[in-house]
């Protein structure tokens, strides 16, 4: 790793950790209902919606409210895509999206995955981007936040029957946390050059005439193919460049802040209009980690013991540093196959060096690798470089980040509730070691809680491994592979891993905009999201009902280095037991072939 | 369940209107007022006509121009209405073939230059629209461009330096040269 890479990582973590405390305290303050200046606007909304804000819900009702709210989101995003041609704000006259793609995208944005089977600038009009996708960027993030707040309430309360009011929590998280921060970030990004307009695409005259091979079209505008199905091409030339436009900055801000990750454009944050400068890149990385880190502090505050939150944050940070360091080192090594052709990949003051296929010159290998580690540790899934072109081990780390269950910072809310489930598993395992009934924060952990954590932890590996097996064994699944050999298997494993863990990044060579993948991945996203949320809320309800026990001589303290180690150990153990065989077939084989030759 | 339906619908509609219409339109208004050039795409105008964007690269193959990153967009390179990387894995034979082809084209345009070629000149960018190359990649092309234009190398070198941006705040990103801006500056000189 270069000095520049170390400096970048250090500066990034310093800002995240410094910002975590004030923001975390604010979130606790907000979600405990103490932000009085927000009340008038809130009350108008509650009156219109028929919500009684003081009426709290039991876990089941809370879960039903969340499910219903999200199901409405799917319907809305689906309908907007199907009807976009007859709706306003569509200057390019984009036609209706196909049913399978629209379904996939609707589930994808509602579940905070933001997997993209489509190319944004060639598929979606501005209304879908704003009223469909931007809305879900907010609401799916708010959903994650309120679920973890309900779980934390379960831990903080005792002998209680309720975990909060879902409508009040969703409203507060959206209006007073996500909205103001997004507004601020959007303006900063616009200042750096992220576009924000509703104009039609802009045509400019290029300096040179470009000659290229274009597909030949028949009278109906469909590409002509030969008898084998290959598209016929012919020489073409142009001196016009069409620049895609749109309201990008507003979507970009919440895309990062809500760990959503769905780009306005196909190339996501590699596109210069989404992420024009190294500073916009730094702001985007910060926005990804800001709320997941802050929520740890909110957790500590709400359970009345700040150290509990810092312990969780420490476990996340330690795992992140290892992951980030690894990706940066692997990507800075470059590609030995290109070195053999005499290409200069050595980093220095005049060039970034390293493995640059799929990376942008302004970010180089270090800033791209750090972004990859951040976006996969948190369940964001935005990319500023194409992960498919990473070195085998540089691509393995993002895969593992997701496979550990998106708990290294993780998604907004989802990362912390995932980590708290692992914390409960960790105290359970340590309880078994010393033969005592495990307890966490004064709550006895019993059979019901363990069943719920087991479901929450195992549902995603099940979806990933089963889904990968189905895709690899079916004709339609293998048809999508872009790269030959072990890398092709990695593409499928990455797609299922990303979908079930609600990340949304991709080894994007995989042709996933087919009915097979659109449906398979949509199912993985939906159950990977709500198959975890429902047991977590069930656990919240059960914990809230329990009495609080005073800590005794046999209680395992859950704030010291010992517990941090146990927590990391539990996360790694579960992740590795689930995924090592699959990883060995993909990136590990590829690494050996690349460096040892075959 | 029925008692949840009204609040679910109403909260959904209200929050959608705020986050999906009011918010993006407010950002559009403010960004357009405070950063009008950036919000409209950082366009470059020549004689009143837009000739490109400072942020979006263009394809160059004239030996008298500096060349940018290879682009994997389809059907033509630097298609700014369909951004894309190549997504070729490090072991993909197609990547090796593409790089060999790019090396051959660069060498053919400058047969006397035996220096190893910087990686960014032979690898496709992530967006396919990368406006920049590394200073190393610009310097590698310096001799060719100067010769084809009949200009002294020092003069071309000065233009490269004038279009080079350092790391932002000293530690963010990479030092880079804006290819379109550099070529526009070259064209502005009298041949």
Q: What is the pLDDT of residue B191?
A: 54
CA distance B106 to chain A (A): 12
- pLDDT, tens digit, 9 for 90 and up, residues A533-579: 999 999 999 999 999 998 888 788 999 999 999 999 999 999 989 99
Residue A188 has pLDDT above 90, yes or no: yes
Yes or no, beta carbons of A48 and B10 under 8 Å apart: yes
Q: Are strands B132-133 and A439-440 parallel, antiparallel or unpaired?
A: unpaired
Mean pLDDT lowest among A85-89, A93-97, A231-235, B12-16: A231-235
Q: What is the pLDDT of residue A598?
A: 55
Yes or no, beta carbons of B171 and A210 under 8 Å apart: no
Yes or no, beta carbons of A272 and B56 under 8 Å apart: yes
Yes or no, beta carbons of B87 and A279 under 8 Å apart: no
CA distance B190 to chain A (A): 16
577-596 of A, contacting B, C-beta below 8 A: 590, 593-594
CA distance B155 to chain A (A): 19
Instruction: Name the residue in chain A with its Cα closest to that of B181.
Output: A207
277-316 of A, contacting B, C-beta below 8 A: 277-279, 281-282
Q: What is the pLDDT of residue B117?
A: 98
Yes or no, beta carbons of A210 and B76 under 8 Å apart: yes
Mean pLDDT computed over B69-93: 96
Q: Are the beta carbons of A397 and A323 closer than 8 angstroms?
A: yes
B176 CB neighbours in chain A (<8 A) are 361-362
Instruction: Name the residue in chain B with its Cα closest to that of A62.
Output: B4
CA distance A568 to chain B (A): 31
Instruction: Report the C-alpha gap between A200 and A505 in whole angstroms.
Output: 28
Closest among A381, A131, A372, A105 to A261, alpha carbons compared:
A381
Mean pLDDT computed over B101-114: 97
Q: How many CB pairs under 8 A join A and B?
A: 404
108-127 of B, contacting A, C-beta below 8 A: 116-120, 122-127
Instruction: Report the C-alpha gap between A523 and A108 in whole angstroms.
Output: 10
Burial class (CB in 10 A: 0-12, 13-18, 19+), A519: middle
Q: Are the beta carbons of A311 and A560 closer than 8 angstroms?
A: yes
Yes or no, beta carbons of A483 and B117 under 8 Å apart: no
235-274 of A, contacting B, C-beta below 8 A: 236, 238, 241-245, 247, 249-251, 254, 265-267, 270-273
Q: Which of A196, A270, A279 is closest, CB to CB, to B32? A: A196
Yes or no, beta carbons of B118 and A483 under 8 Å apart: no
- Tell me what the pLDDT averaged over chain A comes to: 95
CA angle A511, A516, A522 (to 5 degrees): 95
Predicted TM-score (pTM) of this structure: 0.97
Q: Are the beta carbons of A262 and A240 closer than 8 angstroms?
A: no
Q: What is the dihedral of CA A582, A584, A586, A588, to 10 degrees?
A: 150
**A130–B contact, CB cutoff 8 A:** yes
Q: Are the beta carbons of A231 and A224 closer than 8 angstroms?
A: yes
Q: Are the beta carbons of B142 and B95 closer than 8 angstroms?
A: no
Residue B113 has pLDDT above 70, yes or no: yes
| pLDDT over 90 percentage in chain A | 92
Interface-testing mutation among A134, A362, A586, A589, with chain B (most B C-beta atoms within 10 A): A362
**A85–B contact, CB cutoff 8 A:** no
Q: Are the beta carbons of A370 and A8 closer than 8 angstroms?
A: yes
Instruction: Report the C-alpha gap between B67 and B134 in whole angstroms.
Output: 11
* pLDDT tier, A287 (very low <50, low <70, confident <90, very high otherwise): very high
A249 CB neighbours in chain B (<8 A) are 27, 31, 39
Mean pLDDT computed over A196-225: 90
**A182–B contact, CB cutoff 8 A:** yes
Q: What is the pLDDT of residue A552?
A: 82
**A55–B contact, CB cutoff 8 A:** no
Residue B43 has pLDDT above 70, yes or no: yes
Instruction: Report the C-alpha gap between A160 and B162 in whole angstroms.
Output: 68
CA distance A15 to chain B (A): 14
Closest among A130, A290, A122 to A196, alpha carbons compared:
A130
DSSP state of B60: -
- pLDDT, tens digit, 9 for 90 and up, residues A447-488: 999 999 999 999 999 999 999 999 999 999 999 999 999 999
CA distance B111 to chain A (A): 15
Q: Which of B6, B75, B122 is closest, CB to CB, to A214? A: B75
Instruction: Name the residue in chain A with its Cα closest to that of B1.
Output: A64
Yes or no, beta carbons of A358 and B87 under 8 Å apart: yes
Mean pLDDT computed over A245-257: 97
* pLDDT tier, B190 (very low <50, low <70, confident <90, very high otherwise): low
Dihedral sign (CA B43, A368, A283, A505):
positive
| pLDDT over 70 percentage in chain A | 100
**B187–A contact, CB cutoff 8 A:** yes
* pLDDT tier, B29 (very low <50, low <70, confident <90, very high otherwise): very high
Mean pLDDT computed over B169-188: 96
**B188–A contact, CB cutoff 8 A:** no
- Tell me what the pLDDT averaged over chain B comes to: 96
Q: Which of A69, A171, A344 is closest, CB to CB, to B119? A: A344
Mean pLDDT computed over A160-181: 98
Mean pLDDT lowest among A141-145, A549-553, B9-13: A549-553
Q: What is the pLDDT of residue A193?
A: 97
Interface-testing mutation among B18, B41, B182, with chain A (most A C-beta atoms within 10 A): B41
């Amino acid at each position: 790793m270069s000095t520049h890479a170390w400096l970048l990582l250090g500066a990034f973590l310093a800002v995240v950790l410094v910002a975590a405390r004030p923001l975390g305290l604010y979130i606790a303050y907000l979600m405990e209902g103490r932000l009085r200046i927000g009340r008038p606007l809130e009350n108008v909304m509650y009156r219109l919606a028929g919500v009684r804000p003081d009426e709290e819900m039991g876990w089941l009702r809370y879960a039903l409210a969340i499910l219903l709210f999200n199901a409405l989101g799917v319907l809305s995003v689906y309908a907007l895509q199907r009807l976009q041609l007859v709706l306003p704000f569509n200057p390019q006259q984009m036609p209706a999206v196909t049913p399978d793609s629209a379904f996939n995208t609707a589930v994808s944005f509602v579940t905070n995955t933001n997997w993209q089977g489509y190319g944004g600038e060639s598929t979606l009009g501005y209304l879908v981007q704003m009223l469909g996708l931007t809305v879900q960027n907010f609401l799916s993030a708010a959903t994650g936040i309120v679920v973890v707040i309900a779980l934390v309430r379960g831990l903080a309360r005792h002998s209680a029957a309720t975990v909060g009011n879902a409508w009040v929590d969703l409203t507060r998280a959206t209006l007073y946390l996500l909205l103001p921060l997004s507004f601020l970030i959007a303006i900063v990004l616009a200042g750096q050059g992220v576009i924000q307009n509703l104009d039609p695409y802009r045509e400019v005259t290029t300096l040179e005439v470009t000659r290229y091979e274009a597909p030949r079209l028949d009278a109906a505008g469909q590409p002509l193919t030969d008898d084998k199905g290959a598209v016929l091409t012919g020489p073409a030339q142009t001196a016009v460049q069409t620049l895609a436009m749109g309201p990008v900055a507003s979507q970009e801000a919440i895309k990062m802040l809500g760990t959503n990750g769905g780009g306005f454009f196909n190339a996501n944050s590699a596109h210069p209009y989404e992420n024009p400068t190294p500073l916009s890149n730094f702001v985007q990385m910060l926005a990804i980690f800001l709320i997941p880190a802050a929520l740890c502090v909110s957790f500590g505050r709400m359970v009345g013991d700040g150290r509990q939150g810092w312990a969780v944050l420490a476990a996340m940070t330690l795992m992140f540093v290892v992951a980030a360091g690894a990706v940066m080192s692997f990507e800075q090594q470059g590609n030995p196959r290109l070195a053999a052709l005499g290409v200069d990949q050595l980093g220095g003051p005049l060039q970034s060096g390293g493995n640059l296929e799929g990376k942008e010159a302004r970010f180089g290998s270090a800033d791209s690798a750090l972004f990859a580690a951040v976006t996969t540790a948190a369940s964001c899934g935005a990319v500023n470089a194409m992960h498919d072109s990473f070195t085998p081990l540089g691509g393995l780390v993002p895969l593992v980040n997701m496979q550990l269950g998106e708990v290294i910072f993780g998604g907004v809310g989802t990362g912390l509730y995932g980590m708290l489930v692992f914390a409960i598993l960790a105290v359970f395992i340590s309880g078994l070691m010393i033969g005592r009934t495990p307890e966490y924060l004064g709550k006895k952990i019993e059979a019901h809680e363990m069943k719920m954590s087991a479901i929450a932890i195992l549902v995603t590996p099940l979806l990933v491994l089963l889904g990968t097996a189905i895709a690899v064994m079916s004709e339609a699944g293998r048809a999508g592979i872009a790269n030959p050999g072990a890398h092709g298997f990695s593409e499928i494993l990455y797609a299922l891993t990303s979908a079930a863990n609600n990340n949304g990044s991709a080894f994007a060579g995989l042709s996933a905009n087919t009915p097979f993948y659109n449906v398979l991945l949509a199912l993985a996203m939906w159950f990977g999201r709500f198959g975890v949320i429902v047991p977590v809320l069930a656990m919240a309800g059960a914990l809230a009902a329990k009495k609080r026990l005073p800590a005794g001589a046999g209680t395992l303290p859950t704030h010291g280095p010992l517990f941090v180690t146990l927590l990391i150990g539990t996360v790694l153990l579960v992740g590795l037991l689930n995924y090592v065989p699959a990883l060995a077939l993909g990136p590990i084989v590829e690494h050996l072939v690349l460096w040892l030759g075959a | 369940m029925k008692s949840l339906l009204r609040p679910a619908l109403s909260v959904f509609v209200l929050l959608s209107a705020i986050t999906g219409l009011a918010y993006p339109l407010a950002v559009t208004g403010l960004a357009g007022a405070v950063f009008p050039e950036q919000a409209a795409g950082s366009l470059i105008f020549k004689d009143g006509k837009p000739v490109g964007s400072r942020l979006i690269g263009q394809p160059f193959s004239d030996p008298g121009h500096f060349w940018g990153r290879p682009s994997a967009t389809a059907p033509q390179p630097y298609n700014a209405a369909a951004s894309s990387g190549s997504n070729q894995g490090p072991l993909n034979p197609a990547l090796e073939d593409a790089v060999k082809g790019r090396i051959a084209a660069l060498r053919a345009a400058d047969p006397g230059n035996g220096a190893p070629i910087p990686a960014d000149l032979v690898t496709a960018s992530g967006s396919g629209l990368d406006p920049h190359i590394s200073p190393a990649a610009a310097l590698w092309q310096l001799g060719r461009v100067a010769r084809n234009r009949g200009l002294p190398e020092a003069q071309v070198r000065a233009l490269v330096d004038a279009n080079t941006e350092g790391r932002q705040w000293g530690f963010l990103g990479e030092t880079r040269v804006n290819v379109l801006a550099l070529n526009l500056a070259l064209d502005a000189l009298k041949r």
